[in-house]
Amino acid sequence: SLAPEQQKQQTLHTLLTLLLRLAAAQPLLLVIEDLHWVDPSTLEWLSLLVDQGPTSRILAVCTSRPDFRPPWTGRAHLTPVTLARLPQAQTTALTQQGAHGKALPPAVVAQIVAKTDGVPLFVEEITKVVLESGLLEAQDDHYRLTGPLPPLAIPVTLHDSLLARLDRLGAAKGLAQLGATVGREFPYSMVQAVAQWEEQALQQALQQLVVAELLYQRGLPPQATYVFKHALIQDAAYQSLLKRTQQDYHQR
């Protein structure tokens, strides 16, 4: 019998009360990612939580892109932390980590440093693109170029690098596109129902996407759930579909 606004307020207060009671029993860590995509009701609830900050045993860690401006700035119990882009030394170290501990040729590292601008996901993805390109040969503790480095060997944008990795997956690319249509996270049962693939081929393709670190897997088929490593990977896979194919997948 409540008015919609009253029902919303009571819902927010109930959720807050539940969290505060949990925190009264034991300290809580609350992690909320990607606040730049937050909806108004969640933001309103978080504002209520921030008001309780000094008296509750809750450590809330919220992440967002730099252009997000939360409505609760300037509070004494809040600590903003700005993450800068990686400097050259850390970018180089990340390329070596992505190359399984082997050093990449200086010319390759220089291009990666120049084109990624210190964005960690971009560094990881472009390193993988280069390793899969056939331009490098593995030695004991390093890689060497098998020939001159072509000018366009390293994609200029993150979107291009993600598409290049998807293109190298063969048939598994189609499965990534289908999963991206479902969302950032999708269950095995969903893709099994709509993919129209043989079960063995379906599981092999999903495993290929997991090995390529485009997907993370939770559980085992048929109870498994798959999560795209990053929302940008899901977006690149979905946007690479023709509009009529998108519509066909949604209809299925």
pLDDT given for residue 45 in this prediction: 95
Say whether 234 sits in a helix, a strand or coil. helix
Query: Which residue pairs from 44-49 have beta carbons closer than 8 angstroms and sit at least 24 positions apart in sequence?
Result: 44/12, 45/12, 45/15, 45/16, 46/70, 46/72, 47/71, 47/72, 48/12, 48/13, 48/16, 49/16, 49/19
Q: Which residues is 143 bridged to in the sheet?
A: 138
Q: Along the 252 residues of the chain, how does pLDDT read in single tens digits? A: 889 999 999 999 999 999 999 999 999 999 999 999 899 999 999 999 998 888 899 999 999 988 898 888 888 899 999 988 899 999 999 999 999 899 999 989 988 888 887 888 889 888 888 888 888 898 888 999 888 877 656 676 778 888 888 888 889 999 999 999 999 999 999 999 999 899 999 999 999 999 988 999 999 999 999 999 888 889 889 999 999 999 999 999
The model's pTM is 0.58
3-state helix, strand, coil in the chain (%, to 5): 55, 10, 35
Q: How many CA atoms lie within 13 A of 170 on its CB side?
A: 5
Residue 7, Cα to own-chain centre: how many angstroms? Answer: 34
Residue 4 and residue 34 in contact, taking contact as beta carbons nearer than 8 Å: no
